[in-house]
Amino acid sequence: MTTLPELLAAAAPRDLNLPLAMLLIFGSAKLLGEVAIRLRLPPLVGEIVAGALVGPSVLGWIAPNPFLHSLSDLGVMFLLFTVGLEVKAAELKRVGGPAALVALGGVVLPFAAGWAILTFSGAGQTAACFAGAALVATSVGITAQVLQQGGYLHLRASRIILVAAVIDDILGLIVLAVVSGMSRGELRYWDIGLTAFFSIGLFVLAIQYGSRAMQQAVPRMRQTMRGAEADFAIAITVLFALALLAFYAGVAAIVGAFLAGVVLAGQVGNRAQDFTRGATELLVPFFLAGIGLNLDLAALRDPRTLSLATILLVAAVLTKIVGCGLGAFRYGTRDALRIGAGMVPRGEVGMVVAQLGLTLGVVSPSLYAVTVFMAVGTTVLAPPLLTWAFRGAERRMGDGESEMPSIG
Residue 303, pLDDT above cutoff 90: no
Instruction: Report which of residues 307 and 215 the model is more confident about.
Output: 307
The number of helix segments (H) and strand segments (E) in the chain equals 19, 2
Cα 65 to the chain's mean position, in Å?
A: 19
Q: For the ranges 49-63, 161-175, 230-244, which has the lowest average pLDDT?
A: 161-175
Residue 169, pLDDT above cutoff 60: yes
| Number of independent structural domains in the chain | 1
Instruction: Look at residue 395 and give its three-state secondary structure.
Output: strand
Instruction: Report which of residues 96 and 164 the model is more confident about.
Output: 164
**Any domain includes 3:** no
CA distance 354 to 340: 23
**Any domain includes 19:** no
**Any domain includes 66:** no
* Sequence-distant (≥ 6) Cβ neighbours of residue 198 within 8 angstroms: 248, 249, 250
Instruction: Report which of residues 228 and 293 the model is more confident about.
Output: 293
Interval 126-148 mean pLDDT? 81
Q: For the ranges 27-41, 83-97, 345-359, 380-394, which has the lowest average pLDDT?
A: 345-359
Instruction: Look at residue 129 and give its three-state secondary structure.
Output: helix
CA distance 140 to 103: 12
Instruction: Report which of residues 186 and 144 the model is more confident about.
Output: 144
Residue type, 93: K
Question: Which CATH number covers residue 225?
Answer: 1.20.1530.20
Cβ–Cβ < 8 Å for 228, 235: no
- Give the pLDDT of residue 188: 67
* Sequence-distant (≥ 6) Cβ neighbours of residue 383 within 8 angstroms: 41, 42, 44, 45, 142, 146
- Cross-strand bridge partners of residue 5: none
**Any domain includes 174:** yes
Interval 312-322 mean pLDDT? 92
**Any domain includes 57:** no
Interval 328-357 mean pLDDT? 81
**Any domain includes 311:** yes
**Any domain includes 363:** yes
Residue 245, pLDDT above cutoff 70: yes
Cβ–Cβ < 8 Å for 343, 138: yes
**What percent of the chain lies above the pLDDT cut of 70?**
86
* Sequence-distant (≥ 6) Cβ neighbours of residue 156 within 8 angstroms: 95, 331, 335
The values of phi and psi at residue 399, to 5°, are -85, 5
* CA separation, residue 352 to residues 74, 114, 126, 138, 174 (Å): 16, 16, 16, 12, 14
- Classify residue 1 as exposed, middle or buried by CB count within 10 Å of its CB (0-12, 13-18, 19+): exposed
Structural domain containing residue 196: 76-397
Residue type, 318: L
What pTM does this model have?
Answer: 0.75
**Any domain includes 381:** yes
Q: Which of 88, 149, 151 is closest to 401 using CA atoms?
A: 151
For the chain, helix, strand, coil in percent to 5 are 80, 0, 20
Q: Are strands 395-396 and 402-403 parallel, antiparallel or unpaired?
A: antiparallel
